[in-house]
């Protein structure tokens, strides 16, 4: 019989190594799927390929961490589908050092990707419980991200203007404070529609006003706030 020269693993170590290996493969497959679906930004693919989505997912769903689907994170909210995260991030056309405001911290996954791409990230969440968990993840994984618990429809004027603003919840319209807090040439990415289905608006601030393009067929939880849904 052939003799194995592998060092035997202790029981805990064995489980850990097996799961890391499995998730590595699933993460690679997720990146491949994103490429097949048209995501091209290498820095974005690098960031998503280097961040453990399973760190942002509740224990009960950890085996589905790399599925291309949204998953529950508590408070009736979700971590967005990887393709949606990638599509919205690519639409921002980010450069390292850009200031980016995210509305809807949720699990913190999207903010972590922006930070890994070199952006200075500011993120707002209206549920304190979710923000507390997201902050723990940022600390544990070594991300420096400014965050606050507030109504994100009003933006975060103090640190603006922003090269990019990403709204990760569905709005009835583009909140004026967010449009105001865009730097010249800055881009607001926001799903707008009813509470069932939204169109993604990619709005660029020009010297004369704003221009927008759209992408159809996204579904988000509602943006609740003074300039959102009641
Ligand atoms: N970006 C998140 C992630 O990476 O996990 C997913 C966000 S989830 C789809 C939308 C989030 O927006 C929810 O956590 C929800 O509580 C939050 N939200 C809704 N309205 C908000 C508001 N006015 N201000 C801040 N957060 C809001």
- What residue ranges do the domains of the chain occupy? 69-218
Query: Does residue 99's CB lie within 6 angstroms of at least one atom of ligand 1?
Result: no
* Number of Cβ atoms within 10 Å of the Cβ of 203: 20
Question: What's the pLDDT tens digit per position in 56-111?
Answer: 999 999 999 999 999 999 999 999 999 999 999 999 999 999 999 999 999 999 99
Which residue minimizes the CA distance to atom 18 of ligand 1?
A: 104
Q: What are phi and psi of 185, to 5 degrees?
A: 85, -5
Task: Please name the residues in contact with 203: beta carbons below 8 A apart, sequence gap of 6 or more.
Answer: 174, 179, 182, 187, 188, 189, 190, 210, 211, 212
Question: How many angstroms does the Cα of residue 164 sit away from the middle of ligand 1?
Answer: 17
**Strand, coil or helix: 68:** coil
Say what the pTM is.
Answer: 0.92
Q: Decide if 80 is catalytic.
A: yes
Q: Which long-range contacts (CB under 8 A, 24 or more apart) does 23-29 make?
A: 23/52, 23/54, 23/65, 23/66, 26/65, 26/66, 27/52, 27/53, 27/66, 29/66
Q: Which helix (H) or strand (E) holds 106?
A: none
Query: Does residue 191's CB lie within 6 angstroms of at least one atom of ligand 1?
Result: no
Which residue minimizes the CA distance to atom 12 of ligand 1?
A: 104
**Strand, coil or helix: 127:** coil
Question: What's the pLDDT tens digit per position in 145-161?
Answer: 999 999 999 999 999 99
Query: Does residue 228's CB lie within 6 angstroms of at least one atom of ligand 1?
Result: yes
Query: Does residue 130's CB lie within 6 angstroms of at least one atom of ligand 1?
Result: yes
Domain 69-218 has CATH 3.40.50.150: yes
């Amino acid at each position: 019989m052939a003799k194995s020269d592998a060092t035997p693993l202790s029981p805990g170590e064995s489980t850990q190594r097996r799961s890391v290996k499995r998730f590595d493969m699933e993460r690679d497959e997720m990146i491949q799927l994103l490429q097949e679906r048209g995501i091209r930004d290498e820095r974005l693919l690098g960031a998503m390929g280097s961040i453990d989505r399973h760190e942002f997912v509740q224990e009960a769903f950890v085996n589905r961490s790399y599925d291309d689907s949204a998953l529950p994170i508590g408070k009736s909210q979700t971590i967005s589908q990887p393709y949606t995260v990638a599509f919205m991030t690519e639409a921002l056309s980010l450069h390292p050092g850009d200031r980016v405001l995210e509305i809807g911290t949720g699990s913190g996954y999207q903010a972590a990707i922006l930070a890994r791409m070199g952006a200075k990230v500011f993120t707002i969440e209206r549920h304190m419980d979710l923000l507390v968990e997201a902050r723990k993840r940022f600390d544990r994984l070594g991300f420096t991200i400014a965050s606050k618990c507030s109504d994100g429809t009003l933006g975060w004027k103090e640190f603006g203007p922003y090269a990019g603003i990403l709204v990760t919840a569905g709005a009835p319209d583009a909140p004026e404070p967010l449009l105001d807090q865009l730097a010249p040439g800055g881009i607001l990415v926001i799903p707008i529609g009813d509470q069932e289905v939204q169109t993604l608006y990619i709005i660029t601030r020009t010297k004369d006003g704003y221009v927008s393009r759209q992408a159809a067929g996204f579904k988000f939880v509602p943006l609740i706030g003074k300039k959102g849904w009641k």
